[in-house]
Amino acid sequence: MNRRLTAAALALAAIALSGCISLFPKAEPAQLYRFEARPQSQPAPAGPLFGVLRLGTSFARASSGDRILTVNDRGEAAYIAGARWVSPASVLFDEQVSTAFQGAGRARLIGRGEVIKADFSLKLDVQTFEAHYDRGPKAAPEIVVSVRGVITRNNDRGLIGDRIFTARIRAGENRVGSIVPAYNAALTQVLGELVGWVNSVDATGA
């Protein structure tokens, strides 16, 4: 009986570990990376400045940590071996959102606790943040970043806008040094569109 339980336990452990790490692409052990968005400034509609209360960001659990998530067409998920974000992806994302809004138009992001009137509230939900191996395990993956934004009016909780922003950027090669710049490009596209959308808000729509 004990021998059977031991064999079963080892088999279960092997199955559990098999889904936790990816063998591709190759990277130096414990190499840390940072993603960074660089949205270009866009002319904002004329009008006065307004405050936007930034609510907590929701982030897909599997990709919210410091490991770089990969998926394939069979629905199998794994993490890139030996490569991590310098901080949890959810933390880096929030930093990039704050930076993207600085001096980028009429909207002023306001955090909880700031004593400044906010006309609107913004809720972000990062639904997808992953490297999609849609052409096989040896080909360069497509980076997919998808963020849902919801804007509500604070005085009556009325819905102003609900939109999903998605970017798909193909990495140049199947290596981390090419995958990270693809993340940067995808995030740049998404945050650029998000900032422009929030800046276009008025009293009746977004």
Give the model confidence (pLDDT) of 18-74 as tens digits. Answer: 344 444 565 455 699 999 998 776 665 667 889 999 999 999 999 999 999 999 999
pLDDT at 157: 87
> Quick one: tokens of 162?
């609900």
- The answer to whether residue 206 sits within a structural domain is no
Look at residues 111, 67, 55, 123 and name the one whose alpha carbon lies nearest to residue 92.
Answer: 67
pLDDT at 17: 35
> Quick one: tokens of 134?
């849609």
The 10s digit of each residue's pLDDT in 71-114 is 999 999 999 999 999 999 999 999 999 999 987 788 999 987 67
Backbone φ and ψ for 90, nearest 5 degrees, come out as: -65, -35
Look at residues 173, 122, 181 and name the one whose alpha carbon lies nearest to residue 150.
Answer: 122
Q: Which domain holds residue 34?
A: 2-199
- The answer to whether residue 179 sits within a structural domain is yes
- The answer to whether residue 97 sits within a structural domain is yes
> Quick one: tokens of 4?
């059977």
- The answer to whether residue 92 sits within a structural domain is yes
Calpha distance 174→50 (Å, rounded): 44
- The answer to whether residue 102 sits within a structural domain is yes
pLDDT at 46: 65
193: Cβ contacts below 8 Å, ≥ 6 apart: 165
182: Cβ contacts below 8 Å, ≥ 6 apart: 131, 141, 142, 143, 169, 170, 171, 172
- The answer to whether residue 40 sits within a structural domain is yes
CATH of the domain at 50: 3.40.50.10610
- Write the DSSP assignment of 118-181 as a string of letters: -SEEEEEEEEEEEEEETT-TTSPPEEEEEEEEEEEETTT--EEEEEEEEEEEE-SSSSHHHHHH
Instruction: Please count the structural domains in the chain.
Output: 1
Q: How far is CA 203 from the centre of its chain?
A: 29
- The answer to whether residue 29 sits within a structural domain is yes
- The answer to whether residue 204 sits within a structural domain is no
Cis geometry, peptide bond prior to residue 25 (ω within 30 degrees of 0): yes
